[in-house]
A and B are shown apart, each in its own frame.
Chain A
Amino acid sequence: MARVFCGLSGGVDSALAAALLVEAGHDVTAVYMRNWSRDLPGFKCPWARELADAERVAVTLGIDLEVWDCEAEYKATVVDYLVDAYAHGYTPNPDVMCNQTVKFGTFLERALAAGADFVATGHYGRVERGEGGRVRLLRALDEHKDQTYFLWRVSEDALARTLLPVGEIRDKAEVRRMCAERGLGVENKPDSDGICFVGPVGIRAFLLDSLERRAGDVVEWETGRVLGRHDGAFLFTVGQRRGLDLGGGPARYVVDTDVEKNVVYVTADHDSPALFMREIALDDTCWISGEAPESGRYLVRTRHTGELCEAELDGCVLRFGEPVRRVAPGQSAVLYDGVRCLGGGIVQK
C-alpha cells in the first residue's frame, strides 16, 4: 500500500484512475488543481462545475478531496508562455507546459512534501519500472487516446513517482464502462478537447483578449500579390485554412507568417511544396532519461495522436525520408523507440 495523491479533474479518466488506486488498496487523497478560473466573453470557466463532479467521485470512493490553488504557476508557465509564443509567431502546446510545470511540477512537489509516495493522473500513458530503478514512459495501450505526445517534457525522476492507471486500459469505451460500473457519475461526460481555458470561444478570442489587433496583408505565396487583410499575423498558424477573410475564391492555406512584418502568406494549392518539409530543426530538446538519444532512425510524432513517421535524428535535426506536411513552429516533435517515448523538442522556424 502506498500513499498516493491523485489529480482529479472532474473528468472520466482521472475518476477511473482514482477508483483503480482505491481498489488496489492504496491510501488515496484526491486533489483538484484549480489552475484557471477566469471567465472570457461568451465562456464561463466551468471550474466550479468540474470541481463538483470531482467531489462526487471523491465522496463515492470515500476519499478526501483537496483543492489546490495552482493558478499562479499555471498563469506564469502556461498562459503567459502561450501568449508570448503566439506573439512571436509560434504555435505552442500549452498541455505540454502544463504537464511539465504544473501537474508533474508543482503538484508533484507539493504532494511529495505532503508525504506522498506517488502522484497519479488520468493520463493515457504507461510508466514502466525496469531494473536498476530506471523508469521509462510507454505509449498507452489505447493508441487512439495515447497522451505521451503531451508528456515528453516530464523527467524520469518525476515519472518514477508517477502512476498512470488508465494507460493500461485498452480503450476509452472500456474506461467509461468501468466508471459506470462504479457509479462515479461522470461516465457520460464528453471528452474535453482543445485548450481547456479558452473553451469553445477558441484561441483567437483568447489571444485578442490579451494582444492588440494589428491590421496587415494576406499575401499570395507564389505571386506576392496582396489578397486581403488580416487583424494580426500572430493569430495565424501554418496549415490553417479557416479564419482567412478573403471574400470568396478558392480555399487558401497559411504557408507562413511573419509577425515582424505582420504578413500572412497563403496558397490556394493544397499540395504546394511550401506546405511540406523534409527536415525539422529542434530547439529546447528534453529527453526523459536525461541523455540525448544517439543519432539514428526513430518514430516521430508532430501532432497529438498523429501519424508516427520514421525520421533520422542527427544532432538536433530530424530528417524525413518523404516530405511531410509542415509543422507549425512552436509545436512539439516527440520521438519514440517502438512504444517507448524518448522525449523530443520544439519545432523551430
Chain B
Amino acid sequence: MTHGEKNEAPMREVYLDYAAATPVDPEVAEAMLPYLTERFWNPSAPYARAREVRDDVERARGTVARLIGARPDCLTFTAGATEANNLAFAAVEGHVVVDAIEHESVLACAGTHARRTVRVGADGIVDAAAVARAIRPDTELVSVELANGEIGCVQPVREISRVVATERARRLEAGEDTPIYLHSDASQAAGALSVNVATLGVDLLTLSAAKIYGPKQVGVLWASEDVRLRPLVYGGGQEGGVRSGTENVAGVVGFARALELACERRGEEGRRLAGLRERLREGLLARVPSMVVTGPKSPKRRLPGLLHVSFAGVEARRLVIALERAGVSVGTGSACAASRMRVSHVLEAIGMPRELAEGSLRLTLGRGTTEEDVDYAVEAIADAVRAEMARVGTDAAAMAALAGGWGRR
C-alpha cells in the first residue's frame, strides 16, 4: 500500500455503533428547536408565556407517562440514564441484588450498598431462580436491566418481578416491614421493546433519550407511588423536589417526541433491523467461518439490531482502527470500558475466554442503516479481520483452538 492510498477517503461511511449514540431524529430536533430559541422562558417564571412553557414540559411528561403506562407525577427527568440509575439506588439504604452484566452506572451504585451479584449464563441471561436465591430478608432493591447493550440479551424482567412479588408477599405474611423494589434500566431496550411498567411489573424504570434518537443528557426515572425517592441534587425544588435545577425544556420535549417515534416505529423497525442483522451475521460467517457470535440464539431474547462477534487471537482495538480507515465505525463494547482499555466486564461475566474477548466487536444497527451499508461493512470487516489474521499468522484452526469450546454451543 502506498501512502497516497492510505490517505484516500473511504468509499462509504457506515456507522454501526447505534448502541453508543444515536443521531437526533430530524422530527425530534424540530420539536426541540423552539425551546432553544424563541420559547426559552424559565418554566418557573410568573408570566403567561413562561407558564406555557411549563405546560409544555408537563405535556411532554404526560406523553412519556402515557407511553410507558404510568402516572405523570411519578416521573423524574434527569440528566441522562446514569443519573436516573443513581437516583433509583439512592431510594434505598439496605441490601441490593444486581446481575453481573449491568451497566457500569448500576454496578457502581450497587457498590455503595451491601449487595449480592447474580451470575449470568454464557448467553448473558439472568436466571430468575438465581435472583430468588440472592434475595435476603433485608434486600431492598433488585436491579436488572431490560436489555444488555453489549451482547444484546433481553432479560426476563417479568419473571423476576414475580420473584420480587413473592418475596413481598412473604414479608407481608411474616409481618416484616422492609420494602423490596424492582428496578430496571431500559435505556438500551426502549428503541426495540415495549417498556410498559405494568407489563414489566417493575417499581422503578430508567429510560434515556440518547439511545432513542433523542438528545444526550436527558433521562427519566419512573418510580411507583410506593417508592420514596431521595434527592441527589438540591436547590429550587423542581421535579417534585427530587431533582432540582431549571427544567431542560428542549431536552424533555425532545425526549417525549423521541419516545413517541420509537413506539410508533418499534414493530416495523425491529423487523427491519433483525433482517439486516441476519444479513450481517450470515455475510460475515460466510467470509470468516471462525467468527464466534455471542448472545441468545432466540430472536425473542435479544435486541434485533445488535450483533456481537469475536475473532479469537485478533485484537479488536486494531480492527476498530483498520475499519475506521475503511469508513466503518464499530464498537468494542461499552464506551466506558473501552476508554480504560480493559476487557469488558460483560464478557468477563459470561465467561468468554480472554483471547476471544479481546477480539470482540459490537455491531449495532439503527434507523440510518441500509442493506448497502451492511454489505459494505461485511466486506470491510472481513478484509480487516483477514489482514490481521495474516499479520499475526493465525488461521481458522488456531482461532478455534483459542476460542476453546466457546463457539460450539
A residues in contact (CB < 8 Å) with B: 48-49, 51-52, 55-56, 58-60, 62, 181-183
Contact = CB atoms under 8 A, between A and B. Distances in A.
B135 to A, nearest CB: 37
B3 A183 contact: yes
Contact of A60 (B325, B341, B391): B325
Contacts of B3: 181-183
A182 B321 contact: no
A56 B315 CA distance: 12
Contacts of B339: 48-49
B297 interface: no
Interface of B: 3, 6-7, 317-318, 321-322, 325, 339-341, 391
Contacts of A62: 391
Nearest to B384: A59
Given A182-B3, A182-B6, A59 B341 contact: no
A201 B125 CA distance: 45
Nearest to B1: A62
B203 to A, nearest CB: 36
Contacts of A59: 318, 321-322
A4 to B, nearest CB: 18
Given A59-B322, A60-B325, A183 B317 contact: no
B321 A55 contact: yes
A183 B326 CA distance: 13
Contacts of A182: 3, 6-7
Nearest to A59: B321
Given A55-B321, A59-B321, A48 B341 contact: yes
* A interface: dominant SS: helix
Nearest to B4: A181
19 contacts: A48-B339, A48-B340, A48-B341, A51-B341, A52-B317, A55-B317, A56-B321, A59-B318, A59-B321, A59-B322, A60-B6, A60-B321, A62-B391, A181-B3, A181-B7, A183-B3, A183-B6, A183-B7, A183-B325
Nearest to B6: A183
A62 B321 CA distance: 11
Contacts of B318: 55, 58-59
A70 B318 CA distance: 23
A59 B340 CA distance: 19
Q: Of residues A48, A59, A60, which shows the largest number of chain B Cβ atoms within 10 Å of its Cβ? A: A59
Contacts of A52: 317, 341
Nearest to B340: A48
A183 to B, nearest CB: 4
Nearest to B8: A183
A52 B340 CA distance: 10
Contacts of A60: 6, 321, 325
Nearest to A51: B341
A341 to B, nearest CB: 33
B277 to A, nearest CB: 27
A59 B7 CA distance: 14
A48 B341 CA distance: 7
Contacts of B391: 62
A58 B325 CA distance: 13
Contacts of B325: 60, 183
A184 to B, nearest CB: 9
B2 to A, nearest CB: 10
Nearest to B388: A59
B325 to A, nearest CB: 7
Given A60-B6, A181-B3, 8 more contacts: A48-B340, A52-B317, A52-B341, A55-B317, A59-B321, A62-B391, A182-B3, A183-B3
Contacts of A183: 3, 6-7, 325
Nearest to A19: B3
A174 to B, nearest CB: 16
B321 to A, nearest CB: 4
A102 B108 CA distance: 36
Nearest to B392: A64
Closest 10 CB pairs of A and B: A59-B321, A183-B7, A183-B6, A59-B318, A56-B321, A48-B341, A182-B3, A55-B317, A59-B322, A48-B339
B396 to A, nearest CB: 22
Contacts of A181: 3, 7
Contacts of A55: 317-318, 321
Nearest to A67: B341
Contacts of B321: 55-56, 59-60
A58 B320 CA distance: 13
Nearest to A55: B317
Contacts of A58: 318
Contacts of A51: 341
A127 to B, nearest CB: 26
A55 B341 CA distance: 12
B109 to A, nearest CB: 21
A182 B325 CA distance: 13
A208 B17 CA distance: 43
Nearest to B5: A183
A88 B131 CA distance: 59
B388 to A, nearest CB: 9
Q: Of residues B3, B325, B340, which shows the largest number of chain A Cβ atoms within 10 Å of its Cβ? A: B3
A181 B6 CA distance: 9
A62 B3 CA distance: 12
A67 to B, nearest CB: 9
A59 B314 CA distance: 12
Contacts of B317: 52, 55
A55 B321 CA distance: 8
A341 B121 CA distance: 63
Contacts of A56: 321
A51 B317 CA distance: 11
A55 B332 CA distance: 15
Nearest to B317: A55
B327 to A, nearest CB: 13
A49 B317 CA distance: 12
A52 B318 CA distance: 10
